[in-house]
Amino acid sequence: MDKIRCLLTLGADARATDLNGNTYFHLAARDGRTEVLEAFIGDVDVTSANNDGDTALHLAAKNGHVDAVKLLLQKSKLDARSKYATIIFDTKCLIKRKT
């Protein structure tokens, strides 16, 4: 996390993506890095999708990172009535199965 903060301080573009359209925030969600998600959630667009149409929430849920999913749902203020309703519903099922 310190490396990310350092790069951003030095002027790195927080919206920079890899070839698949993933930002560092997408990758942190995919890998379940809750400390990164929590530190930067206020600085990113949590509804931003990669080339496959996946948001950070999708990636966390697909990879079974329940704590990351909970954090994204609590801190991002995503509305369950939005286009993300399906993933939120699926995620709640995932959380029930894991806990």
Residue-wise pLDDT tens digits, 76-96: 766 544 555 455 555 555 555
4/97 Cα distance (integer angstroms): 33
Give percent above pLDDT 70 in the chain: 75
Classify domain 2-98 at the CATH class level.
Answer: mainly alpha
Count how many Cα atoms sit within 13 Å of the Cα of residue 15 in the half-sphere of its side chain. 4
pLDDT digits (tens, 9 = 90+) for 6-47: 777 787 777 889 999 999 999 999 999 999 998 888 888 888
How far, in Å, CA of 22 to CA of 95, rounded? Answer: 24
Nearest to 25 by CA among 52, 53, 48, 2: 48
- pTM, to two decimals: 0.75
